């Protein structure tokens, strides 16, 4: 069966989660990167709570991290403390308002649902695991699957003739190798 590569699957999972995050964070008046910073500060130890370590962790530029820290400091989510032994080093401290915000944004509901659904499954390969993860996330999120015909509920095949049950049109070998906006997994309700 035709399927996306592991890299493409990871990209799709990442886009789906990012789009969910954007919606959720927008409702709280913050951007995904703000939550990522606060999340990092809640996880890291005292050797790692510096702007330099944060920049490495996020893989962003110093300028972007610096601007993000200014916004978060202004909103009262974190503070900067000088290192007692080295005046050149600043430590970032998560404030109660930052912890409170974090508790409101995690975890994403769809990811929790996906974890629960995937718990009992066994996977043949990384690609299989990623494909199943994407499918479960898309179902939980009611988002379009953009899959291939062979896994679509509308796909019909007999005597080497392939047809789309949605449009009632024949499908060529080439067409069933392409992803489709109308693709629907079995057991998912159409809009």
**Interaction site with ligand SF4 (CB under 6 A):** 149, 152, 154-155, 164, 166, 180, 182-183
Q: State phi, psi for 165 to the nearest 5 degrees.
A: -70, -15
- Torsion of Cα atoms, 170 then 175 then 181 then 182, to 10°: 20
Cβ proximity to ligand SF4: between 25 and 155 the closer is 155
Taking the complex as a whole, the smallest distance from the CB of residue 157 to ligand SF4 amounts, in Å, to: 10
The kind and range of the H/E element at 79 are strand 78-82
Cβ proximity to ligand SF4: between 59 and 186 the closer is 186
Taking the complex as a whole, the smallest distance from the CB of residue 177 to ligand SF4 amounts, in Å, to: 11
Cβ proximity to ligand SF4: between 14 and 167 the closer is 167
Buried b (16+ CB within 10 A) or exposed e, 133-149: bbbbbbbbbeeebebbb
Cβ proximity to ligand SF4: between 129 and 188 the closer is 188
CB atoms within 10 A of CB 115: 13
Cβ proximity to ligand SF4: between 57 and 154 the closer is 154
Q: How far apart are CA 139 and CA 114, in angstroms?
A: 9
Q: Judge whether 153 and 186 are in contact, CB under 8 Å.
A: yes
Taking the complex as a whole, the smallest distance from the CB of residue 182 to ligand SF4 amounts, in Å, to: 4
Cβ proximity to ligand SF4: between 77 and 148 the closer is 148
Residue 77 DSSP SS3: coil
Taking the complex as a whole, the smallest distance from the CB of residue 66 to ligand SF4 amounts, in Å, to: 46
Q: How far apart are CA 101 and CA 25, in angstroms?
A: 10
Taking the complex as a whole, the smallest distance from the CB of residue 164 to ligand SF4 amounts, in Å, to: 3
Q: How far apart are CA 134 and CA 110, in angstroms?
A: 11
Taking the complex as a whole, the smallest distance from the CB of residue 186 to ligand SF4 amounts, in Å, to: 11
């Amino acid at each position: 069966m035709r399927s996306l590569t592991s890299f493409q699957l990871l990209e799709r999972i990442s886009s789906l989660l990012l789009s969910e995050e954007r919606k959720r964070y927008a409702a709280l008046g913050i951007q995904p990167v703000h939550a990522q910073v606060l999340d990092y500060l809640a996880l890291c130890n005292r050797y790692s709570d510096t702007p330099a370590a944060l920049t490495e962790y996020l893989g962003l530029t110093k300028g972007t991290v610096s601007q993000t820290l200014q916004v978060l400091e202004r909103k009262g989510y974190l503070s900067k403390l000088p290192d007692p032994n080295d005046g050149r080093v600043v430590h970032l401290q998560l404030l109660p308002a930052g912890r409170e915000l974090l508790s409101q944004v995690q975890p994403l509901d769809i990811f929790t649902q996906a974890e629960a659904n995937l718990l009992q499954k066994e996977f043949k390969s990384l690609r299989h695991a990623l494909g199943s993860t994407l499918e479960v996330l898309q179902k939980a999120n009611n988002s379009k699957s953009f899959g291939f015909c062979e896994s679509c509920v509308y796909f019909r095949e007999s005597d080497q003739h392939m047809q789309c049950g949605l449009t009632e049109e024949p499908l060529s070998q080439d067409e069933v190798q392409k992803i489709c906006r109308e693709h629907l997994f079995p057991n998912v309700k159409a809009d």
